[in-house]
Structure 1
């Protein structure tokens, strides 16, 4: 019997326009009414999906949980209470940021525990974020010292092609020991850097341990490479129909529907209801 669903948001639960469908929201409510935990497990900040939690009936709920920043932060939804903060060492974050900032094609994002800052925002990326309710502050300088004393959850870059994202990874890994990093790609636009050992999968298992839920009792749903860790860590890995091949290869179930056609409602109907 499955006791928890951990679910990516963008291109998995959410429509391409960033909206949550009524059918997915209704299915989530049915699942949680049966005692199943539904846990958003996103690369985004928890601040960006509070309205969606409201629609799911999970906002500010005691005993309900969210995971943000690719596993960097685990929260109880009631008062957004941190349960685990897996921050990046300052000097590593600084080196990654400065590498991104030196590339004029890159929009370089810095995620603190509660806010997003972007150096050199580009319109396509900014539009994508705004469609998803993601608020950010534009950095006017590349002075990273402003983040001293804050929890840096991750640093990511938006770049226009797969090749350029892979090149950015190579450049960063020439400056920072790769053993200190978890590197993933997401949403067909980002290369993402988290601390070593921090990913969606470790966070899902960590939350499961807190709730006395075994990995085999967890369903994970995703579409892209930053979801692979959670699919590999759980009992029922699911890819939505629009998932990349690497995600479909590790999935035990691939939905008939894509993210624009209520894929999560399909998952909940099959495994929970």
Structure 2
């Protein structure tokens, strides 16, 4: 039982809040509504672009009840009610051609986003297509991604066969050391973000804005990109289906996975007890 004063609940989406069909089930919705009724601010914290999170935020009623979207793995935080950007970090434009060249060399897909959807040279790539499915956004094919991106972006996403993830990530880290951060967010995704962009950093900035501390934060996640926020949060909960390295930094692990209301279990235990 918890006596913690949890005021902010940060939730990873894929593999955490949503089941494998990318849906939030009734029990989890009820738990979220009850937490909001207790004055808890919900933050949807994902590697997805803002446009890929907004429909879910609206579906959960956060545009009316209030709440935040933490997009691009911490590259931006948006107030769901007002649409105001509370925090943002952009990728250096010089990095776009460098990352595109790296992906071409490795013969893997790389993508980013525009206002309409996911832009890539390889929309038919099996792993790239998963981002379109995840975000419910259309895949837009461009001839030359580096030339196409003449607008500010928060991140790029490398997509690849899971068997190659760790080797390519290590190679990329070596290549771009001190220029950007690279880390996996799923078995087939590697995030390419500005230095210092991570879920814990932007959540820290949000808490400061709200006059709260990490003790007031509960975070739930399953992927390697959730480790920082679970370690940072006063209450860090890993899903049963989380990678082992994520469970290792969590203060609690649910008995249920993302397909069986793991998030509801965590909310009931720590916020609604």
TM-score (norm 2): 0.91
Deviates more, 1:44-53 or 1:138-147: 138-147
Contact 2:35 2:267 in 1 (8 A): yes
Looking at structure 2, the residues matched to 112 and 89 of structure 1 have their Cα atoms a distance apart, in angstroms, of 16
Report the counterpart of residue 104 of structure 2 in structure 1: 101
SS in 1 for 2:10: strand
Alignment correspondent of 1:141? 143
- Displacement after TM superposition at 1:219 (Å): 0.6
Alpha-carbon offset, residue 234 of structure 1: 1.3
Cα distance in 2, alignment partners of residues 190 and 231 from structure 1: 20
**What whole-Å deviation, never above 9, does each CA across 1:21-80 have from its counterpart, x for those lacking one?**
11111111110111001100000012123332233221x237421100000011011253
Runs (4+) of structure 1 exceeding 6 A deviation are none
Map of 1:186 onto structure 2: 185
1:158 touches 1:191 (CA, 8 Å); kept in 2? Answer: yes
**What is the DSSP-based 3-state SS (H/G/I as helix, E as strand, rest coil) of the residue aligned with 1:183?**
strand
The answer for unaligned runs of 5 or more in structure 1 is none
Give the superposition deviation at 1:171. 3.7
Who is 2:80 aligned against?
Answer: 77
Partners of 1:222 and 1:39 in 2: CA distance: 12
- Check whether the contact 2:109–2:159 (CA below 8 A) recurs between aligned residues: yes
Map of 1:213 onto structure 2: 212
Q: Structure 2: how far apart are the matches of 1:80 and 1:101?
A: 36
Return the alpha-carbon distance in structure 1 between the equivalents of residues 27 and 69 of structure 2. Answer: 21
How far 1:127 moved relative to its partner?
4.9
1:198 aligns with 2:197: yes
Call closer, same or farther: CA 1:114–1:152 in 2, change over 3 Å.
farther
Q: 1:151 to 1:267 in 2, by over 3 A?
A: same
1:206-250 residue CA offsets vs partner (Å, 9 max, x unmatched): 111111110111011110111111112111111000001001111
Q: 1:173 to 1:126 in 2, by over 3 A?
A: closer
Q: Distance in 1 between matches of 2:116 and 2:174?
A: 29
Indicate the residue corresponding to 1:5 in structure 2. Answer: 9
**Is the contact between residue 110 and residue 128 of structure 2 (CA under 8 Å) also seen in structure 1?**
no
Q: Which moved more, 1:252-261 or 1:72-81?
A: 72-81
Contact residue 41 and residue 200 of structure 1 kept, 8 A: yes
The change in CA–CA distance for 1:27 and 1:235 in structure 2 (over 3 A counts) is same
CA RMSD of aligned residues (A): 2.0
Displacement of 1:133 after TM fit?
A: 4.2
Distance 1:241 1:34, change over 3 A: same
| Compared CA separation, residues 208 and 199, structure 1 to 2 (3 A) | same
3-state DSSP of counterpart to 1:201: helix
Distance 1:101 1:112, change over 3 A: farther
Mapped pair 1:67 → 2:61: no
Is residue 18 of structure 2 the alignment partner of residue 14 of structure 1?
yes
Where do 5+ consecutive residues of structure 2 fail to align?
A: none
Report the Cα distance in structure 1 between the residues aligned to 2:182 and 2:129, rounded to whole angstroms.
24
Paired residues, what number? 268
- Equivalent residue number for residue 90 of structure 1: 93
